[in-house]
Amino acid sequence: MQIQELNQMSRADAYATLLQCCAATRWVDAVLDLRPYSSVEGLLQAAKNCWSSMEEPDYLEAFDGHPKIGDPASLKAKYAATHTMASNEQASVQQANEKIIMDLASCNQAYEDKFGFIFIICATGKSADEMLSSIKARLVSNREKELQLAAMEQGKITSLRIDKLFN
């Protein structure tokens, strides 16, 4: 895709396209309101700026657009719209041994029980072991700090997904 294509799409089509990058509807609307973009870099900067103005409900909506790391059932069922991007991002988990997958599932449940949202990490380039270490380290955090950290990770994921749209 070229940036001009995004600029020329109907709002509904552009909305659906950007929703694949971040499931926070207020973020999508904010980014679309700034069209047209002269470059992908301009879009990326606008995406970051718009994300920085989001609040907890927006974060939680974005987080809800992700499958749990290591949960193939949620990849297939609930997240069909982002399945390809999310499964590629989590490719290392698909190759992990059963024990690591079970540990990830257990930690994911403990994380969600403690914080009220799923564990968010920019999984691209990380092994399943690295993600397991990260979730264990983050489980000792408090909710406020973890919400901010998860929001930062969401910002990274969104930028990577925008890059994928145009490359």
Active centre residues (catalytic):
66
User: Alpha-carbon distance 32 to 13, whole Å?
Assistant: 11
Tokens of 122: 């920019």
DSSP classification of residue 139: T
* Secondary structure (DSSP) of 82-120: GHHHHHHHTHHHHTS-HHHHHHHHHHHHHHHHHHSS---
CB half-sphere exposure, 157, CA atoms < 13 A: 30
